Amino acid sequence: MSFHRLSRADVEPGVGRDADAWCGRCGQELGHLIVAMVGKVVVRVRCNTCSGEHAYKTTRQVAATAQAKATKATRAPRAATAATGSTTRKASTGGEPSPAVRGLYKKQMASKDRAQAVRYSPTVESSAGLLIDHPKFGYGIIQSAAGGKGNVLFETGERTLVFDRE
Ligand SMILES: [Zn+2]
């Protein structure tokens, strides 16, 4: 065990040691001299062939970088398509109540007597469950009310109206 650890330490890279690295100038993997390290990572080397000093790169890392760039390029158009799709969806449903809202309205109206609907005005005393008759939006049921405002469910969706004014 100790022998193994020792021999491994022997081949660990260090400043002044040789390392195979990719030389951009020579365009191939060649023997380099390590000139700078950060911790155990080689960051700078000098080419034994052209004496050019540059950042340490193996051929494998060059390939990985190229692949990462290619992946990014193919991803970008896909993201743009998704964004356009969501915008189109939003625009087409604008203002219309969802089937869930319509269903809830029908369910709540089924238990209400329209003859007892209170004609809406800002002076109406709000209380949850109260059926009101609005001149513009029609029949609506107060879902909740607080601080002089109430959320009213109409056939066209929920709206906030003013209540409890003197
Ligand atoms: Zn070189």
Helix (H) or strand (E) holding 56: none
Task: Please tell me which residue, 166 or 48, carries the higher pLDDT value.
Answer: 48
Predicted pLDDT of residue 97 = 83
What percent of the chain stands above pLDDT 70? 72
Take residue 12 and report the two structure tokens written for it. Answer: 């660990």
- Stated pTM of the model: 0.44
Distance 40 CA to ligand 1 centre (A): 23
Cα distance between residue 87 and residue 89, in whole Å: 5
Residue 113 is assigned to a structural domain of this protein: yes
| Res 78 pLDDT > 60 | no
Residues 103 and 58 in one domain: no
Distance 65 CA to ligand 1 centre (A): 20
Distance 23 CA to ligand 1 centre (A): 5
Q: Check if the beta carbon of residue 154 is closer than 8 Å to that of residue 105.
A: yes
Distance 86 CA to ligand 1 centre (A): 51
Residue 145 is assigned to a structural domain of this protein: yes
Residue 94 is assigned to a structural domain of this protein: no
Number of Cβ within a 10 Å radius of residue 150: 23
Task: Quick: pLDDT tens for 6-56.
Answer: 444 456 778 999 999 999 889 889 999 999 999 888 999 999 999 999 999
Distance 28 CA to ligand 1 centre (A): 8
Number of structural domains (the chain) is 2
Indicate the residue among 47, 62, 77 that finishes a domain: 62
Distance 49 CA to ligand 1 centre (A): 5
Cα distance between residue 165 and residue 31, in whole Å: 87
Cα distance between residue 64 and residue 155, in whole Å: 58
Residue 24 is assigned to a structural domain of this protein: yes
Domain residues for the domain of 8 are: 2-62
For 12-58, where are the alpha helices, taking DSSP H only? Answer: none
Distance 50 CA to ligand 1 centre (A): 4
- The least confident of 40-54, 62-76, 128-142 is 62-76
